[in-house]
């Protein structure tokens, strides 16, 4: 993969921060956008803008074709059986809320929902709200010392049992980088009649996705982490399951017939897409999917894998560096979270920013995980297809500088 040529398609990567070139290592937060995606969104607004489905004129037909075409592209990208299995939402959080609301509609006292301590808040809070409403019990996978799901403890506790109705797990942790064995856990969930929901936000952008092989019932992810625009997320669900699920938001375009007493609802996916959807954003997501497919998801995964192994070796050699998560690039995404001895993540972020290195400091919307790890917060560097070895070197140099700035004992 020619990363230098790829980078030329991302205009923002040419920016400078003061005297330093921008080193963007915050792609797990949001990815940068290639020119083709920027152009696709702009062209839609310049030439094809109209509302979808309801506008019957020429532009309406063009916009509808573009919107539904994007749905088909996303379906093909993730190996979905048919485009109608792809529901467009506002983001992954909304998709997970939809799953919790509609899939959880029948839950009551005695039922159990299982999540894990490594989840992003967006895969915790919707289930907490559901369990409060339904009187159901929320249970948690713990993690092992090296940041993997603790499957033995889960087995010993009979975490997944005949009372389990829903299991919802992240495919790849946004903090630890850990890739979870979703197919195995989905099989366990299905064996007790439970549904498997997957937060794919940190996985789908970085590797080939085959939702059928994954074995999940619902997979949620977001466009802006995969070179697409903000404002659009995806919920994929097995069609027969979606067809059973009640609506989430009510409004225009999700109905069949509205009477004053009651309404009947459209078939999936439109049942779950109330109101005017993110049309230009869907077009941008379609362009992002074409872009990623053109580069090749296998090549992106291989590049990131090699880069992650390089970064882990380089960073863990820094004295005072503590890694959160697996130290080997095995079953692992490219997010690398850490702490520097004696320096708070906010201060790491500030010093790195002053040298052009953009990373994230804080709890990364995973406070229970940080509590579990005994860290108040952490610093995270995250790579993508455009990240270079030189940028990892710049990060490592900036971290040594930062450590010495705050902790004089390291100044030799």
Alpha helices for 81-205 (secondary structure H): 92-98, 125-134, 151-156, 182-191
Strands 378-382 and 335-340, sheet pairing: antiparallel
Least distance to other proteins, CB of residue 92, Å: 19
Strands 357-358 and 360-362, sheet pairing: unpaired
Alpha helices for 163-238 (secondary structure H): 182-191, 211-214
The catalytic residue among 131, 220, 227, 365 is: 365
Respond yes or no: is residue 220 known to be catalytic.
no
Q: What separation in angstroms does the CA of 344 have from each of 288, 335, 361, 399? A: 36, 19, 8, 12
Paired tokens of 333:
């995404």
Please report whether residue 15 would count as binding other proteins according to CB under 8 A.
no
Least distance to other proteins, CB of residue 207, Å: 29
Which residues does residue 340 pair with via DSSP β-bridges, in sequence order? 321, 343
In angstroms, the CA 315 to CA 352 distance is: 15
Q: How many residues bind other proteins (CB under 8 A)?
A: 17
Which of the stretches 200-208, 218-226, 330-338, 360-368 binds other proteins when contact is defined by CB under 8 A?
360-368
Least distance to other proteins, CB of residue 244, Å: 37
Binding residue for other proteins (CB under 8 A) from 70, 361, 373, 403?
A: 361
What 3-state DSSP class applies to 141?
Answer: strand
Indicate the residue among 44 and 364 with the shorter CB distance to other proteins: 364
Please report whether residue 244 would count as binding other proteins according to CB under 8 A.
no
For 123-161, give one letter per residue: b (16+ CB within 10 A) or e: bbbbbeebbeebebeebbbbbeeebbbbbeebeeeebbe
Binding residue for other proteins (CB under 8 A) from 2, 4, 18, 56?
A: 18
Q: What is the DSSP letter of 172?
A: B
Binding residue for other proteins (CB under 8 A) from 21, 181, 362, 368?
A: 362
- Specify whether the backbone of 88 is left (phi greater than 0), alpha (psi in -120 to 50) or beta: beta
Please report whether residue 372 would count as binding other proteins according to CB under 8 A.
no
Please report whether residue 143 would count as binding other proteins according to CB under 8 A.
no
Binding residue for other proteins (CB under 8 A) from 62, 253, 341, 347?
A: 347
Binding residue for other proteins (CB under 8 A) from 298, 346, 389, 390?
A: 346
Binding residue for other proteins (CB under 8 A) from 20, 305, 344, 372?
A: 344
Please report whether residue 377 would count as binding other proteins according to CB under 8 A.
yes
Binding site for other proteins (CB under 8 A): 18, 344-347, 350-351, 354, 361-363, 367, 370, 376-377, 405-406
Q: Which residues are catalytic?
A: 365
């Amino acid at each position: 993969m020619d990363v230098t040529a790829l980078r030329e398609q991302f205009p923002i990567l040419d920016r400078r921060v003061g005297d330093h070139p921008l080193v963007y290592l915050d792609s797990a937060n949001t990815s940068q956008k290639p020119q083709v995606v920027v152009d696709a969104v702009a062209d839609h607004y310049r030439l094809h803008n109209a509302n979808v489905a309801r506008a019957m004129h020429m532009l309406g037909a063009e916009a509808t074709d573009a919107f539904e075409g994007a749905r088909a592209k996303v379906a093909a990208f993730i190996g979905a059986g048919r485009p109608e299995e792809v529901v467009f939402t506002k983001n992954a959080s909304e998709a997970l809320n939809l799953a919790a609301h509609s899939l959880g509609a029948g839950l009551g006292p005695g039922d159990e929902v299982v999540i894990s301590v490594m989840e992003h808040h967006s895969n915790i809070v919707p289930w907490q709200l559901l369990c409060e409403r339904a009187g159901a019990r929320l249970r948690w996978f713990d993690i092992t010392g090296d940041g993997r799901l603790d499957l033995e403890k889960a087995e010993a506790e009979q975490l997944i049992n005949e009372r389990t109705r829903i299991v919802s797990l992240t495919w790849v942790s946004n903090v630890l980088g850990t890739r979870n064995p979703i197919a195995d856990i989905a099989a366990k969930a299905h064996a007790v009649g439970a549904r498997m929901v997957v937060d794919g936000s940190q996985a789908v952008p970085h590797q080939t996705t085959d939702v059928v092989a994954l074995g999940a019932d619902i997979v949620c992810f977001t466009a802006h982490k995969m070179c697409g625009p903000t404002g659009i997320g995806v919920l994929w669900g097995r069609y027969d399951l979606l067809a059973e699920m009640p609506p989430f938001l009510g409004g225009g375009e999700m109905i069949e017939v509205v009477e004053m007493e009651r309404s009947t609802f459209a078939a999936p996916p439109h049942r779950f897409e109330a109101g005017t959807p993110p049309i230009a954003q869907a077009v941008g997501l379609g362009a992002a999917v074409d872009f990623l497919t053109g580069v090749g998801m296998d090549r992106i995964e291989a590049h990131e894998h090699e880069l992650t192994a390089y970064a882990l070796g380089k960073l863990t050699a820094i004295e005072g560096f503590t890694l959160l998560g697996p130290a080997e690039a095995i079953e692992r995404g490219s997010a690398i979270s850490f702490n520097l001895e004696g320096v708070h993540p906010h201060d790491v972020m500030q010093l790195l920013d002053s040298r052009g290195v953009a990373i994230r400091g804080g709890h990364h919307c995973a406070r229970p995980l940080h509590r579990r790890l005994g860290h108040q917060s952490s610093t995270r560097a995250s790579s993508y297809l455009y990240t270079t070895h030189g940028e990892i070197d710049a990060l490592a140099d900036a971290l040594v500088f930062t450590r010495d700035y705050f902790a004089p004992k390291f100044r030799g």
